[in-house]
Each structure stands twice: as C-alpha cells, then as structure tokens.
Structure 1
C-alpha cells in the first residue's frame, strides 16, 4: 500500500493529512462561501442602516448589542431587521433549492422559477388570500400562518407532480424542464384566474405578494420560516451526499450502492419544500434560485453547484437587491429588480446552451 504522502496531487485540490488518513478538498469551496458571508454581513448592515432615516453603522451595531435609544430600537428591530433577516433566509433557501434542482437535472435552467414550484406555491397562497378572505379586516393565525402554510403545501404538491410526470425509468433533465414549464404555465393561469374572482382588496394584497416583496415581512413570518429552514437545510445537506454519485447516471449510481429513486425523490422533495417556504414567506422572488448556483459554480470551479456557496450567494443576491431598491426606488418590490436582472441572464443561458449543442 502506498504511503499517503506519496499520493500525487489532484489539480485544483488540496490534501489534508490527519495521521494515516487523508482527505482532498477544493480550497475555493471554502474561500468562496467565507468571502460571500463577509460581504453578506456588510450588505446586511448597510441595509439596516440606510432608509428614509439613516443610521450609522456603529449605531446599528450598538443597537443590535442592546444599546441605542428608543427611536433607533424602533427603526431597527421593528422595521429593518426583520426585512433583512427575511432576505437572508429567503435567498439562502432559494439558492440551496436551485443548486439541488440543477444538479439532479444536470441542467442550468432547472430552478424553482422555471420548474413551476414557485407558481405552485403561489396557487395555494393566493387561493387562501382570495377565497379565504385573509385581507381587509381579517387577522390572527389565518393571516399570519395560513398563507405560508398554504404556499408550502401547494409547493410540495407541485414538486411531487413534477417528479411523477418527469419519471420515465429515470429522470432526464430536459424532460424535467419541459414538464416544469408546463406546470409553471398552469400555476400562472390559476393564480391570475383566482385574482379575477376575488374581492378587490384581497386581489390587491395577493398581487403585491406575487411580485416578491420583503417590505411586508415581519417577525410573525420570520419565526416559522426560520424554524422550517432549521429543519430543511440540515436534512438537505445530509441527504446531498448522494449527489456526486447521481451525476454518473443511474446504472453507475446503483453500482455505487445508491438507491437512485429514493435518493433523487427525497432531494427533489426537500428542494421543493425549500422553494415553497421561501415563496410563502416573501412571494416568488424570481431568478435568485436560477443565478446563484451558477455563479457559485463558476467562482468555486466545481463540477456541480456547491450547496453552501449557493446558499450564501443566494442570500447575498437577495439582500443586495433589496438594498438597491431601497436606495433607488423605495416603493419598488425586490422581485421586480431580480426579474429585470434575471431575464438577460436567462437569455444568456439559452444562447449558451444552443451554442454548446451545436458544438
């Protein structure tokens, strides 16, 4: 048996030696999330500090640590902190969900936006808002928890439909994208049909939610969202150890001892739940799940989107977009900006895919 120290280096990787054992890892998979996390902290602090009444960064830190006067506490804890935390949680969930979908489908277009998960979650949330009358004078648990729960349920159901309709002795990425586009079209039309049959006030509230907006997210939504992600994120990261084997095809994955159908179905269900939780919390903030895994992949130079890097960059993109709209156009929902920036990126992916197919 060759000594560990005689093992030739692998390009792009480093060998970590602990006694007789050795692990290889890519430094970029650690450096990229670390730098992204530092930038996220900075952007989040700026997002809390800036607004109609600016607060210095040192004053923000002092207030978060228990200092600050009544005015600063009210602005930060009642208005800006929950909005910023929502951006972090929602962006991280979208980034992780997009990385799972794109890895399983082996297609950069496979994201909750394209595959219909966000619109599927929207059907349940809008149905409860419009048909359940949660707008207007209604309050309580139905208004605070009912909409996220309805969005989560319908998003998971959409994920199950996507898996069932895409399965033909295995999952083909191209077929999954086509099925997802069909589900997205169905969900889109159902949502706008519901808007036509509802009360004007309820339809207005639903429309505001549909464009993706962090402005209305308060502490009542932060708690359930954080709790759901505290369960889903670790479960997804634990189950994701099979993703490397799934990249080699079903026969090879089975040869490696992976239960292909169970592993793929579990990961798709978890990714759908992540996207549904994020959508239910702040609406369908589009293209974050599409772009952040691909950006993380290129920065880390890995064969598939890195999961932790996708989470960090998803949160960074969402909070950065929220900071931008608050500085430039305070009344503009963050989902509008991500859609405007994401549409050219989607066109780029289509063009790049066609050039690759011709080559």
Structure 2
C-alpha cells in the first residue's frame, strides 16, 4: 500500500493499481503516437513529437495538430468518460452487466439527439442539449419505474433493458419517417464515429467531462461505502438516496456528453471497468484504471476502424464487435459458475 500525505490530507493507493495505471498510460501514449503517425501520409515518431512540441511548421504540423490530433484527443477523452460512467453504474448497482447502453441511458441520449437532428434541424449546441435532456429523461423514467421501497440493482437493470428496447424502436421509427438525406445522416451518426471531430467539440466536451470527473471523484467515497449495502452506508452517515441519485446523474451526463459529440459509442462502459478490475485484481473497478482502460479501448478501436479495416468504419462498429464478444464470454462464465 502506498500512502501519500500532504498538508493533513492522506491518500492510500495499492501498489498494483499504481503500476497498472502507469502501464496503461504508457500503452495509451504509444497508441496515440502510432495513430498520429499513420494515415495517407506516414510520419516518423520524430516528426510527430516535433510537431507536438512546436518544432515543426507547415504541412507536417497541420497534419499532426490540426487534422489527426483532435480525433486522437476525442478518443482519449470520450473513452475515459465512458469507462468512468460504466464503473459508477457497475459499482452502484453491484452488477457487471450495468451499462448505460444496456439499461437505456445511451438510447435516451440518442433519442434526444435524433429529435434535434430530424425534427428541429438544430445546431451542434442544440444537439448537445437534446442528448443531455434525452439521457436524463430516460434515467428518470428507469429510476421511477424501478423504485419500489428503494431501488434494487437487478430490478433497475431489468426495467432499463425494457426501456432500452422501447427507445430502440422509437429511434428506428424516427429514422424511417424522416427525409432521406436527414435519415442517412442520422443513421451514420448513430453508428458512433469520430469523423469530423473538431477542436471546438473536443474542448467543449472535454471541459464538461472534466467537471463531471471531479464530481465522480467526490462521490467515489460514498460509492465505496454503498457497496457494503445501503444499511451499512447509512450507518456511516451516507445519505444513500441523494448519493445514488448523484451517481446516476453523473454517469448519465458523461454518457450523454459523449453521445452528443460523436454518437453512441457502446460497450466501452461495459467492458472497461471489468478489464480494469481484473488487471488491478481488486474487488471493484477504480475510477482511474477504468478511465485509462476506456481511453485505451476507444483509441485502439478507432485505430482499427480507420487503418486496419478493409474500409474506414465508424468506431462504434468496432466497439460493438469487441463488446459483444466480451458480453457473450461474460454470460458464459456466469452460466458455468451456476452449474
């Protein structure tokens, strides 16, 4: 155990978690440099590092800083947000299947964004607002339907799956009833893609995600106490209802922010916390390892989609393939344990 003390504040960290986070950070940096090197014009690591340090001008700098770096930064920031969102929900509900995409929060954000795209034909900022409102509205509906003398994790997941199926049907109906050009644009955006991400979107989304990550860190202590059970947490002074509501709002807001900027990138929030927990060998997924694994998965999936696939694909298609395989493996393991 590593103990850090400064100005009367003490922090305890497990050595394995620190080593895992350092290894993940190195892996993220390596893939980021590789992504900045790869494209129609291949660059050397020296060219990339020089451009990032401001030592290059002209075409090389424009390629690295203006064209490729926003996409890499978006993959890192959005992947970290999704990883933390999944870690919050899985810890809160004490269930490895808790995921914003499975329990309807991502679909709600997608519905809000679709209404802005297909009906309002609004601006990017209206799209952000629609995604946030849709995600929070779906969370409220799931929460109220699952509330019966408190909210149980299993009941919330079952209700969320039902709401998710209904929202999927509504989203399909909205696309089918829309004009052809808008429907094509909405369907392409709904696959989850980092194509066309600008520095303005990265800056806005990154600022909002940074605030939400700070809130997640503040709520991490009552979240850990609630893992022992509501009664045990309440006996330690935790306001269980307000803490649970705050955790759900932060998790939904993280997912909705990503959805507004890039479309629904699913399954990262399901897979990242579980991989982080297994790497750190802890009973729960810490927020920092989950964020780093989420960033690594999103960046690697986007690199595969752009450079290793036969034709460039939206990143959401790769994450669905990876996440779907992991979900099937997880269900198989759970079934074997019960036999």
TM over 0.5: yes
The alignment's TM-score, normalised by the length of structure 2, stands at: 0.94
Q: CA deviation at 1:204?
A: 1.0
2:85 corresponding residue in structure 1: 97
Q: CA deviation at 1:54?
A: 1.0
**Map 1:340-359 → 2, pairs under 5 A:** 340-356=321-337, 358=338
Q: CA deviation at 1:333?
A: 0.9
1:162-216 deviations in Å (ceiling 9; x for gaps): 2222222222221111111112112111111111121111111111111110112
Q: What CA RMSD, in Å, does the superposition of the two structures yield over aligned residues?
A: 2.0
Q: Please give the secondary structure, in 1, of the residue aligned with 2:101.
A: helix
2:210 corresponding residue in structure 1: 230
Distance 2:135 2:305 in 1: 28
Q: CA deviation at 1:107?
A: 0.5
Q: CA deviation at 1:21?
A: 10
Distance 1:308 1:35 in 2: 12
Q: Which runs of 5+ in 2 are unaligned?
A: none
2:59 corresponding residue in structure 1: 71
**Map 1:242-261 → 2, pairs under 5 A:** 242-261=222-241
The alignment's TM-score, normalised by the length of structure 1, stands at: 0.89
Q: CA deviation at 1:14?
A: 5.4
Q: Which runs of 5+ in 1 are unaligned?
A: 1-12, 135-141
Q: CA deviation at 1:240?
A: 1.4
**Cα distance change of structure 1 residues 39 and 21 upon mapping to structure 2, 3 Å threshold:** closer
Q: Does 323-332 or 271-280 show the bigger shift?
A: 323-332
2:319 corresponding residue in structure 1: 338
**Cα distance change of structure 1 residues 14 and 227 upon mapping to structure 2, 3 Å threshold:** closer
- Aligned match for 2:108, one of 115, 120, 123: 120
1:215 corresponding residue in structure 2: 195
Distance 1:17 1:78 in 2: 41
Q: Please give the secondary structure, in 1, of the residue aligned with 2:228.
A: coil
1:322 corresponding residue in structure 2: 302
1:132 corresponding residue in structure 2: 120
Matched, 1:186 2:158: no
Distance 2:168 2:9 in 1: 53
Q: Please give the secondary structure, in 2, of the residue aligned with 1:233.
A: helix
Highest CA radius of gyration, 1 or 2?
A: 1
Matched, 1:37 2:25: yes
